[in-house]
């Protein structure tokens, strides 16, 4: 169980590499991408398939890193807010305690 994650990653990487090797003819073909806004065509982009896949991978990686940073920010923000609440409750408790000589 300890190495299950790494075995899965290695198997997926091996599958990806084997697919690239077996489909090398297709990867050498060009792909035509039509760039357009809903109301305005911007143009066409002609790329080799491997370049398009590489750009897609990079875009996905950037999206994953961005989402991870957002999750980290929310997590640390929650911790900061909880610390502020705890400090406020501790201060309220200290103010509510009687002094040592008042008993």
Q: Is the pTM of this model over 0.85?
A: no
Within 10 A of 52 (CB to CB), how many other CB atoms are there? 17
pLDDT of residue 61: 93
Query: What's the average model confidence in pLDDT over 56-61?
Result: 91
Cα 35 to Cα 17, 46, 88: the distances in Å are: 29, 11, 54
Using one digit for the tens of pLDDT, what is the confidence trace for 61-97?
999 999 999 999 999 999 999 999 999 999 888 888 7
pLDDT digits (tens, 9 = 90+) for 15-55: 888 887 888 887 788 888 888 898 898 999 898 888 888 88
* Domain spans of the chain, in order of start: 4-96
């Amino acid at each position: 169980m300890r190495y299950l994650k790494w075995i899965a990653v290695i198997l997926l990487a091996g599958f990806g590499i084997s697919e690239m090797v077996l489909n090398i003819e297709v990867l050498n073909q060009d792909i035509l991408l039509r760039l357009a806004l809903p109301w305005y065509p911007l143009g066409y982009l002609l790329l080799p398939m491997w370049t398009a896949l590489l750009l897609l991978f990079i875009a996905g990686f950037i999206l994953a890193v961005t989402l991870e940073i957002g999750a980290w920010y929310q997590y640390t923000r929650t911790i900061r807010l909880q610390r502020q609440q705890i400090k406020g409750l501790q201060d309220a408790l200290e103010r509510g305690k009687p002094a040592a000589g008042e008993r």
